[in-house]
Amino acid sequence: MLPNNFRLITIPVSHYSEKARWALDYLEVPYREMAHMPPFHRNATKKYGGRSVPVLVTDTGAATDSTDILRYLDRLYPEKLYPIDPNLQVLTLELENLFNLTLGVHIRRWGYSYILSPQLIYPRWTLGVPFWEKLLFPAIFPRVGKIVRSTYNVTDTSGTESYREIEIVFDRVDGLLADGRKYLLGDKFSAIDITFAALAAPIIQPPEHYIKPAALTSLPTQMQSDISNAQATPAGKFGLRMYQEYRHHKMRSRS
Ligand SMILES: N[C@@H](CCC(=O)N[C@@H](CS)C(=O)NCC(=O)O)C(=O)O
């Protein structure tokens, strides 16, 4: 019997959380999202042995990393997320690591380089969180903002530096798509497409995202031009198409 009572602990804006959300929605697994604003996510995750979000909690245990969550779901719903063809294993692992360890990390640093002001970050940290966390935002933001800045090495030049790293990953994806393939692993939608599109979402701003894109003009100018450039690349267009064709929000409830 499949475990039930799935709960997903998230920070609303977290793109690693979006990756897990998307996999659950795609598989039509009912779950409850338990969104928290930093640093309150720590209280929620620590009792399951995690620090970061997302954490997936089930009746039988918890997965404390977004890729572990996708791999766990793949065991419950075989052949829906990851390919079984042994010839695809090397590319699968290469892309999964590239997206998780380089794209995700640099997109977050790029994003925080521009949106770490109370006005811009408030909606992105508080959508769906308990009301008392929202109330505490003005009091805790100065301290948490400082911690985020130092944890993710946000500096005056980090936006430009990280954008360059994002471009390198996008170039790799452009190269793969150049042979006309429909999906990153070939002819079938997979966890690798979810991983790329979800982690790229902050810079391609898909309209189907859980957090609706802000008007471009409300964002800092450099961010606007980085977004427009990223959206115009084959990789950017591919990510937007994955959202349009495969991102359906079906089974989530919020607590
Ligand atoms: N490898 C982890 C990375 C997750 C991650 O970095 N999550 C960030 C949000 S995007 C987080 O929880 N940051 C707050 C913290 O580490 O306390 C995964 O894939 O789940």
- pLDDT given for residue 223 in this prediction: 97
- Residue 155 in contact with residue 84, Cβ under 8 Å? no
Buried b (16+ CB within 10 A) or exposed e, 50-74: bebbbbbbbeeebbbbbbbbbbbbb
Confidence tier at 68 by pLDDT (50, 70, 90): very high
In angstroms, what is the span from residue 255 Cα to ligand 1's centroid? 21
Nearest to 11, CA basis, from 65, 58, 48, 55: 55
Sequence ranges of the chain with CATH classification 3.40.30.10: 6-82
Mutate to test the pocket of ligand 1, among 16, 40, 48, 71 (most ligand atoms within 8 A of CB): 16
Please tell me the distance between residue 105's alpha carbon and the centre of ligand 1 in angstroms.
9
Each residue of 111-120: pLDDT tens digit?
A: 999 999 999 9
Residue ranges, CATH 1.20.1050, the chain: 86-246
**Span 184-209, mean pLDDT?**
97
Distance CA 147, CA 145 (A): 5
User: Considering the chain, what percentage of its residues have pLDDT values greater than 90?
Assistant: 93
Asked if pLDDT for residue 254 goes beyond 60, the answer is: no
What is the Å distance from ligand 1's center to 41 Cα?
10
pLDDT for the residue 2: 61
Q: What local confidence, expressed as pLDDT, does residue 4 receive?
A: 72
| Structure-derived torsion over alpha carbons of residues 200, 85, 88, 17, reported in degrees to the nearest 10 | 20
86-246 — its CATH code?
A: 1.20.1050
Per-residue pLDDT of 133-173, as tens digits, reads 999 999 999 999 999 999 999 999 999 999 999 999 999 99
Contacts of 193 (CB under 8 A, 6+ apart): 183, 184, 185, 242, 246
* Phi, psi (rounded to 5 degrees) for 80: -95, -30
Architecture (CATH level 2) of domain 6-82 = 3-Layer(aba) Sandwich (3.40)
Atom of ligand 1 nearest to the CA of 54: 20
Kind and range of the H or E run holding 33: strand 31-35
Q: What are phi and psi of 166, to 5 degrees?
A: -65, -40
- Check pLDDT > 90 for residue 250: no
* Ligand 1 atom 19, closest CA: 66
Query: Hey, is 50 helix, strand or coil?
Result: coil
Angle between helices 104-115 and 158-177 (to 10 degrees): 140
Structural tokens at position 89: 């294993």
Residues with CB under 6 A from ligand 1: 11, 14-16, 38, 51-54, 65-67, 100, 108
Average pLDDT, the chain: 95
Provide the pLDDT for residue 210: 85
252 pLDDT higher than 80: no
Of 248 and 224, more confident: 224
Are 115 and 219 within 8 A, CB to CB? yes
- Count of C-beta atoms within a 10 Å radius of residue 109: 21
Choice from 40, 45, 53 to test ligand 1 binding pocket (greatest atom count within 8 A of CB): 53
Name the pairing type of β-strands 6-10 and 55-58.
Answer: antiparallel
